Amino acid sequence: MDGESQEITALVGREVYSNNGVFVGEIEDVRLDLDEEQVTGLALAELSSELFASHVDPGQGVIVPYRWVRAVGDVVLVNDIVERLKTDDDAEENEEAVA
């Protein structure tokens, strides 16, 4: 993202946060497009239970599309779209409570 080449393995183990500072998970692996020679996704484990509890079973992970990545440094920042998972769940619960 910053124009400097890095080894792909340097991403493994880094924590991932949303633009708003909400912890999303930790990078366990990367998904590659070998034909295009580029990273297409980040496989996350140690997920935020607050964000993913109703979407992912314990012990499972998710793959975040690399196009959501905004910055790579000591941590990785992604779009706040992942936070919308929680917002969508809250909206559904509110609708059920009203019904």
Its CATH class, for the domain covering 9-98, is mainly beta
Reported pTM: 0.73
Q: What is the mean pLDDT of the chain?
A: 79
Residue 34: C-alpha distances to residues 1, 5, 31, 45 (Å) = 18, 16, 9, 23
What pLDDT, on a 0 to 100 scale, did the predictor assign at position 31?
93
Encode pLDDT of 20-56 as tens digits.
Answer: 888 999 999 999 999 988 889 999 988 877 777 777 7
- The domain segmentation of the chain, as residue ranges, is 9-98
What does the block give as tokens for 33? 């497009």
